[in-house]
Structure 1
Amino acid sequence: MLSVVIVAFYKFVELPDYRDRKRPLRDLCQQQQVQGSILLAAEGINGTIAGTRQGIDTILAFLRQDVALADLTHKESLADFMPFTRMKVRLKREIVNLGMPDITPHKQVGQYVPSDEWNALISDPDVLLIDTRNDFEVELGTFKGAINPKIISFNQFPDFVGQNLDPTRHKKIAMFCTGGIRCEKATAYMLEQGFEEVYHLKDGILKYLEDTLEEDSLWQGGCFVFDGRITVEHQLQPVPIELCPMCHLAIQPAHRTSPKYELGVSCPNCADDLTLERVERARDRQKHRAQQAIQRGLPSPQDMQPS
């Protein structure tokens, strides 16, 4: 039964008192037994949380009672298990780390493109389509014809732009990301760099996959999500897949028979590059997860492996 409600939300908005918001928000989440992660910064809020319907509705109502967040939107999906193990509310310089806290998406961003207009835009031969996500995410799935900047983290995106893009040559640029937050900030940065016609997928890949029939879709593969589901596809159905926690690459069935594969620790793609210290830390984390699962009556990490 799909009884766990998962919601993702963000908003770029000036929150000068963001530090004061941490404790009451964290306490309410704990009271409602809601788990996940929420980031607070002077530039806004960004979170993904999961819980019961009542718990999630309580948190969203609490956030929206503030005039600054009254129009906060969210994306919702359901699961049959809790995808998070704890609740974290963190204070940050940025709610998504471009490494440029002075960029102001709440003042200037590119043009939002809804899901039902996205196919037409990216089918235009004059449009340069860019995936703003990290390389390991792109490897799992992306839009047909999209450029992979091959970045390890989002704060490398400005370097990619500086080395590969030119406002005088690249007139129309469309960008996308998982839920919309990275590409929204990317458009704000590119407008500051002199690019004039910049578009981004409203509410991100997840909204597109939710709204678009598979036969009409230009999406190829799975979409990585930052929770226990790991990867979803059309209609946000989870895809059974295991990712290596070290290199974030997909574990293939043949990898599990390799002596370099260890559940939750390493895979043949990265085992030779790991120090003994990192391996031991990963083993400790895996042991801790297994103990937590037993205490909560949940499946162990071994039981949750894709077949």
Structure 2
Amino acid sequence: MSLSCNIFSRKIINNDILIIHKSRINLSFYKYCNIDNLMTLKNNLYIVLNTLNVFGRIYISREGINAQISVLKKKYYIFKKSLKYLNVNFQKIHMNVSLDNTQSFWMLKIKIRNRIVSDGLVNFQYNNDNTGKCLKYFQVYKMLNNSRTIFVDMRNIYEYNIGRLKNAIHIPGHTFRLQLKNMLNTLEKYKNNKIVLYCTGGIRCEKATAWMKYHNFKHIYHIEGGIINYIRESKRNFLPIQFQGKLFVFDYRMMEKVSNHKLSLCHKCNNICDNYINCSYNRCHRLVIQCKYCYIKYHSYCSTRCMVKSFYTTVNVYK
């Protein structure tokens, strides 16, 4: 019987976590590598990580592993050692330690997928030996000060809207697969420039550089550990950070503050704001930027319409 699932309700899990909550580290990591027997790996991962009280979301596929997790601080090194023994390809994985270690996950989920990042590419086989050059944080610092270098943001538009590298180009497309389709035409005029791709943790950009090299772009780079690692290492080594605003993260916290710049507007009143909420109406649940005044005015809903609909749904339930 597969053990790779939670057998308790979310309410029970949340209560237990609040009782036993201890100092934690938020991590993300990925690795492009060949993985066989995915179900065995899934079950082994769950058994080991559940024993270590690791929470989070992990995707595995035949092309590798992609994870965002929360680890007890005192068990971090045990976790790293355990991961290496689970698969020979996990010997060297770059760990992105979060800027903010607020509680990010409440349970552990491990899923098998076709790809660790959905790309929609049919006639293209990712080649780990033919990617762009990987840059350390200090190399990024130097290239940011070179006007001939083009920095390209490969994240979703809702990530870009609240925080980004100064003067970065955003590739249009509300999914990664659409961005891959659009990026060749968007960047054609910069083909003779050095082009640095960046995303949150690096997983999109590593694959995107291989896609660009396949289409004869020569001077292609990506950032080791993505923008998270660039910010963290720059802070640790007292280098100026040219990322402005907030960093969107895919967990309970939603955002990490990097600078005091506010780059967006409230979707209702157009006041300067960079806080995201999910609409409280379950049939909507839309991700929107909303200021604290509109949050109070609309009671955490994205609109009057959703507020009214939610009210009548609740009334009908209790009739």
Q: For the Cα contact (< 8 Å) 1:244–1:251, is it kept in 2?
A: no
TM-score of the superposed pair, with normalisation by structure 2 = 0.75
Instruction: Note the aligned Cα RMSD (angstroms).
Output: 3.1
Q: 1:211 aligns with which of 233, 238, 243?
A: 233
Are 2:302 and 1:267 aligned? yes
Measured in 1, the distance between the counterparts of 2:49 and 2:62 equals 21
* 1:85 paired residue number: 106
* 2:81 paired residue number: 61
* 1:227 paired residue number: 251
Measured in 2, the distance between the counterparts of 1:147 and 1:41 equals 30
Measured in 1, the distance between the counterparts of 2:226 and 2:296 equals 37
Q: For the Cα contact (< 8 Å) 2:22–2:72, is it kept in 1?
A: no
- Give the residue type in structure 1 aligned to 2:278: C
> What is the deviation of 1:203?
0.9
* 1:98 paired residue number: 119
> What is the deviation of 1:161?
1.5
Q: For the Cα contact (< 8 Å) 1:30–1:87, is it kept in 2?
A: yes
Q: 2:45 aligns with which of 7, 10, 25?
A: 25
Measured in 2, the distance between the counterparts of 1:4 and 1:68 equals 26
* 1:198 paired residue number: 220
> What is the deviation of 1:267?
1.6
Aligned residue for 2:295, secondary structure, equals helix
> What is the deviation of 1:244?
2.9
Measured in 2, the distance between the counterparts of 1:216 and 1:168 equals 26
> What is the deviation of 1:215?
7.2
Measured in 1, the distance between the counterparts of 2:191 and 2:55 equals 46
Q: 1:153 aligns with which of 172, 175, 192?
A: 175
Aligned residue for 2:119, secondary structure, equals coil
Q: 1:110 aligns with which of 99, 121, 132?
A: 132
* 2:34 paired residue number: 14
The alpha-carbon distance between structure 1 residues 105 and 220, as it changes in their structure 2 partners (threshold 3 A), is farther
> What is the deviation of 1:243?
2.7
Measured in 2, the distance between the counterparts of 1:248 and 1:125 equals 35
* 2:14 paired residue number: none
- Structure 1, unmatched stretches of 5+, are 285-307
Deviations 1:120-176 (A, max 9, x none): 213322222210000000001000000122321211112212442327845421110
The alpha-carbon distance between structure 1 residues 33 and 156, as it changes in their structure 2 partners (threshold 3 A), is same
Measured in 2, the distance between the counterparts of 1:176 and 1:146 equals 9
- Give the residue type in structure 2 aligned to 1:267: C
Measured in 1, the distance between the counterparts of 2:165 and 2:98 equals 22
* 1:292 paired residue number: none
Measured in 2, the distance between the counterparts of 1:196 and 1:248 equals 37
Measured in 2, the distance between the counterparts of 1:19 and 1:2 equals 31
* 2:72 paired residue number: 52
- Give the residue type in structure 2 aligned to 1:59: F
Measured in 1, the distance between the counterparts of 2:146 and 2:157 equals 25
Aligned residue for 1:216, secondary structure, equals coil
The alpha-carbon distance between structure 1 residues 77 and 131, as it changes in their structure 2 partners (threshold 3 A), is closer
Q: 2:287 aligns with which of 244, 248, 267?
A: 248
Deviations 1:194-252 (A, max 9, x none): 211101111111111112248711111111111222222349xxxx9443354433221
* 2:207 paired residue number: 185
Measured in 1, the distance between the counterparts of 2:125 and 2:307 equals 36
> What is the deviation of 1:5?
1.6
Aligned residue for 1:16, secondary structure, equals coil
> What is the deviation of 1:112?
0.8
Q: For the Cα contact (< 8 Å) 1:118–1:201, is it kept in 2?
A: yes
Aligned residue for 2:217, secondary structure, equals coil
Fraction of identical pairs, as percent: 24
Q: 2:155 aligns with which of 133, 143, 146?
A: 133
Aligned residue for 2:288, secondary structure, equals coil
Aligned residue for 2:188, secondary structure, equals coil
